[in-house]
Amino acid sequence: MSLAFVFPGQGSQAVGMGRGFYDASAAAKSLYAEAGEALGFDLARLCFEGPEAELQLTANTQPAILTASVAAAAVLADRGLAPAIAAGHSLGEYSALVVAGALAFADAVRVVRRRGELMQEAVPVGTGAMAALMGLELAVVEQICRDAAAGEVVGVANINSPVQIAIAGHKAAVERAVALARERGGKKSVLLPVSAPFHSPLMLPAAGRLAQELARISVSAPKIPVVRNVDAGLTTAAAEVVPFLIRQVASPVRWTECVERMVREGVTTFLEVGPGRVLTGLLKRITEAARGYAVEDPESLEKALARMAAEGGMPVSAAGANAQNGVNG
């Protein structure tokens, strides 16, 4: 029975996220302090008190979600939960690499803040857009993008489930694709409230500059495999970490394939570690071969542990830890 940790990306942020673990765990509190020191401002205060408009800026959102996710993983580690494999959606891949020991936490915090700045700077505000297309298979969406391009950029950005796919590119081209998706039987097609066309070729300028940032940090071999967004391959060596993070910025997030890869690797239980429940919801649409539980605060942790024990999804190491901590099945 194998356990995977999966880490959320942007879109899961909310004022107050992570507060429960911060209040309950010295390890979590220490990570927020380390993040604040690395960034030069009080990240904990921004996460817990806002203002929301500041938290929603991608240069703040990215280190905030990373910190909340790594802090949650530290609490899980204290409870004896150790993953055999990890993955993260977009930004979440950095959280996975930190928890796997490939990136130092403070380095990752600084890099993802810069990543946010570079991604926003790559395309002037209002020039790019993203949209979610529901109820259409990948091949259909790819054809819609080709038909809608008309000399502009529009393409697949996130393959979140077999029938939930996000596209990104020039705003007018994305709008044309949304209209075509509706004409061609899509259940729902909506523009997303984001400030840049993430994971599209329009992000290539950001990728080049991110490479310079990543060249400044030291990288280690991950202690557990990390499934890559770009190709659903396994990162197991230090030399693989940076090249794939650079490619990731302007490449689609192949999340469906990442989940399927983890199932093939023997994963039967997924824990979504950090704010929100997006990945747990997607898991149900991707596979019936594994269970998923979202853990974002002490209450959801206790609920997940109880359900895992009752449903037989409790890894042996965690079951032992729960006996020591007095958690009932």
Catalytic residue positions, numbered: 90, 199
Three-state secondary-structure class, residue 216? coil
Answer for the pair 279, 256: CB distance below 8 angstroms, yes or no.
no
**Tokens describing residue 72:** 């949650």
Answer for the pair 64, 70: CB distance below 8 angstroms, yes or no.
no
Q: Where are the alpha helices (DSSP H) in the chain?
A: 19-24, 26-39, 43-49, 52-55, 58-78, 92-99, 105-122, 138-149, 171-183, 204-214, 238-248, 255-264, 278-286, 298-311, 316-325
Answer for the pair 274, 12: CB distance below 8 angstroms, yes or no.
yes
CA distance 108 to 103: 6
